[in-house]
Amino acid sequence: MITLENDYIKVSLAAKGAELQGLFSKETKLEYLWNANPKYWAKHSPVLFPIVGSLKNNSFIYQGKHYELPRHGFARDNVFNFEKISESEGIFTLTQNADTLRTYPFYFELKLKYQLIDRKLKLTYEVKNTGTSELLFSIGAHPAFAVPNTPDTVYEDYYLSFNADEQLTYWKLEDGLVANETKNIALNAHKLKLTHELFYNDALVFKNLQSNSISLLNTKNDNGLHFNFEEFPFFGIWAAPDAPFVCLEPWCGVADGVNHNQELSGKEGIIKLGAGETWSRFWEVACF
């Protein structure tokens, strides 16, 4: 386990998947990240790369050839190289290898840069095309936050506050694929009350979220977090059935639609990066 810390927060990281495994506030003495209890879901905050969500038939077509990739890709199951820049900053790196090339025929360098900035954790994803042809990829975040995270609260005491949206429109999922059906959720003063029933039919998938900041708050005390993200065209909110957490997931990419022809170059949300080019996005969370 790798630790980064400053005067305000302490984070725990693992080389496998470059995964955030703990987010502890020294001020509140609270742990904000889900504990990965396998009864519900045995992960904390996996990186989704080089796809987000499921492929139709778990496969894609590239230059006339079929390739198979599992849901959310392979990065979360690979061991990254780690470089500690300082006590409060570290960088994980993953590149292609013989196994990845069999299922994903691209050369890449994926970096996850963790930085503690006062009371905030900032995570930057950086992708570089190290090959000679166009790189096609998607990437997404999947952090799970503990709900409840204080002994005086229960799940239904919590809500999400959106900084811009007054109504949410989400796309339904069918066997992990995006269906051709949407549903609306009316918000009360930009607030979405958390209930377990929200997630009984899988994640809520958003394609037109207006907000770039979501706060996880509760009605019983002043503890919570602010989750900020920029330039992610898709967003997911999810929890396993009846699980004591909620995932806030900014995505550059989305699961295949039920009618997708499986061609990777035409996949919704796919990013196309020229040889030698670099792409990056970040999200950050502040706990209180």
Q: What is the pLDDT of residues 193-249, one digit of tens each?
A: 999 999 999 999 999 999 999 999 999 999 999 999 999 999 999 999 999 999 999
pLDDT given at position 29: 98
What is d(CA 265, CA 282) in angstroms, rounded to the nearest whole number?
24
CA-derived radius of gyration, the chain: 19
- The pLDDT confidence band at residue 54, using thresholds 50, 70 and 90, is very high
Is the pTM value of this prediction over 0.85? yes
* % of residues, the chain, pLDDT over 70: 100
Q: Give the pLDDT mean for 93-120.
A: 98
pLDDT given at position 96: 98
Phi, psi of 278 (to 5 degrees): -125, 145
pLDDT given at position 163: 98
pLDDT given at position 268: 97
pLDDT given at position 199: 97
Question: Measured on CA atoms in the order 46, 51, 54, 57, is the torsion positive or negative?
Answer: negative
pLDDT given at position 120: 98
Q: Give the pLDDT mean for 176-187.
A: 97
Q: Each residue of 110-153: pLDDT tens digit?
A: 999 999 999 999 999 999 999 999 999 999 999 999 999 999 99
Q: What single DSSP character describes residue 53?
A: S
Q: Are 146 and 285 in contact (CB under 8 A)?
A: no
pLDDT given at position 206: 98
Residue type, 61: I
H helix count then E strand count, the chain: 1, 24
- The pLDDT confidence band at residue 274, using thresholds 50, 70 and 90, is very high
For the CA atoms of 248, 177, 112, 23, the dihedral, rounded to the nearest 10 degrees, stands at 30
pLDDT given at position 190: 98
